[in-house]
Structure 1
Amino acid sequence: MTNQDRAALTPFALRLAEIARGETMHRWHEGIGAADVEDKGGGGPDFDPVTDADREAERAMRAAIEAAFPDHGIAGEEFPDRPARGPFTWSLDPVDGTRSFTCGLPNWVTLIGLLDEGRAIAGVIDVPSLGECYWGDEGGGAFVRAGREAPLRTSGRTDLAEARLSTTDPYLFQGAEREAFERVRASVRTTRYGHDGYAYARLAAGTIDLVIESLLKPHDYNALIPVVRAGGGVIGDWTGGEDFSPGKVIAAATPRLFDQAVALMRDAA
């Protein structure tokens, strides 16, 4: 694939986000009843639902990828992986924040990532219910809100005591993880919960400074990595490295802030 062809992949990812909106938005507006939800996990913090919106949005995105790029691999949340016949694989999470989706809350997102030989090189965080879309690749990034596009730029915050922290659910941390997270939470200015992938979008745009999470899967984080980095942020694991496979992720507005968070989380890695 030529450089010109590679340049067409981010616009294609944005097109995939539009396709997913066609399957998710009307279902969100119509409301999700209990009969529409399949529980993939247990109760309480282990509740992991899947809806028709998840399945049909991924099905539609897969069909578009297969038609446009038959050699590309596909790794999604809802269906078996399709191996690549080349370097590129698409990572799809059609509804990240399904619990918010099923509650009629607006902060669920669609995550679309592109990997080159396993390395995340482009990502889209689409926020259909808010009319926002965030994208990043190796050439930069931007977000659209209220029809206006602006470059991604983190807050530049460097002091943990002034940081705005987010995590999806504090009850997903167990044992030493919870103790480590509590050390961070007690050190920051404010903490907000329940935003899933949207928190990373707002970190890249400058209104959240730090995100710490556990139990993430590849389809949860692949799209986030290029977006955070395009905004000038840092994203890595709890030891300060870049091994995302354990699902323990820290994203921060600056390297200094990232290092402060790692210092408090490292023992639980």
Structure 2
Amino acid sequence: MWEDLGLRPGIDLGFFTLRFYSLAYLAGILLGYWHLSRMIKAPGAPMAQRHVDDLFFYCTLGIIAGGRLGYATFYQPELWANPMNLLKLWEGGMSFHGGLIGVLLAMVWVSWRGGLNFLRVADYIAVNVPFGMLFGRIANFINGELWGRPSDVPWAMVFPGAGPLPRHPSQLYEAALEGALLMVILLLLFWKTRARWRPGFLVGVFTAGIGIGRFTVEFFREPDAQLSEFALRTGLSMGQWLSLPLVVLGLIVLARALTRPALGATASYKDSAEPA
């Protein structure tokens, strides 16, 4: 979009351009780190600050590496023909599902190395993911990418590079469902209820919620050009097929959390060298 208008997408510093998508990742990660550091000060925290620092580092790597490798695997396999193209992050192409796998592996590593309860760590991380989802989709909208299907709704927009037809601003739909709505739900559950005392409850709500949100928005989003034939052949887009397992997994984890006894008030991380 921006190149079509003769502009550089981002904030031009002269020697370097800060891309909107990069700024969105940075804002989401920093806000998530700050909020997670606050969360562990509440009763029942399953980790200490040093674990938060480790999660901040490894989850950032997981988002970048997983997002890029996931995009190449699920959406543009031809990138694997020249692995050096995988490093060209500035050309775009990141997969949410790939980034989610990267974050999951990072949590497994930090939990195993620190002797932490993985499910409870996942609960705390899940509350913070919608921050990044909200900023990321707003950045997609500003960049004029990942636009929606043609539509005649009053709020339809013409996106440069997408032709003359008005389209759904599907990026804003995702920002609202996967970002703002899920963020409000998880924050209320954590701070206003005893949901954090049921291991798996918060991550179950997040996983099912993100899957339902993505599956729904895909009805309004234009499929990737290289996958349009796949969507026509299967009846669902690649994003919808990848979201269905998330919904099923989230409901299973949520049901497990609700059928197990809640933890007691003393169920928090204990470390003689550093209190939680």
TM-score computed with the length of structure 2 as normaliser: 0.26
More helix by percentage:
2
TM-score computed with the length of structure 1 as normaliser: 0.26
Point out the structure with max Rg over C-alpha.
Answer: 2
Point out which structure has higher relative CO (alpha carbons under 8 A, 6+ apart).
2
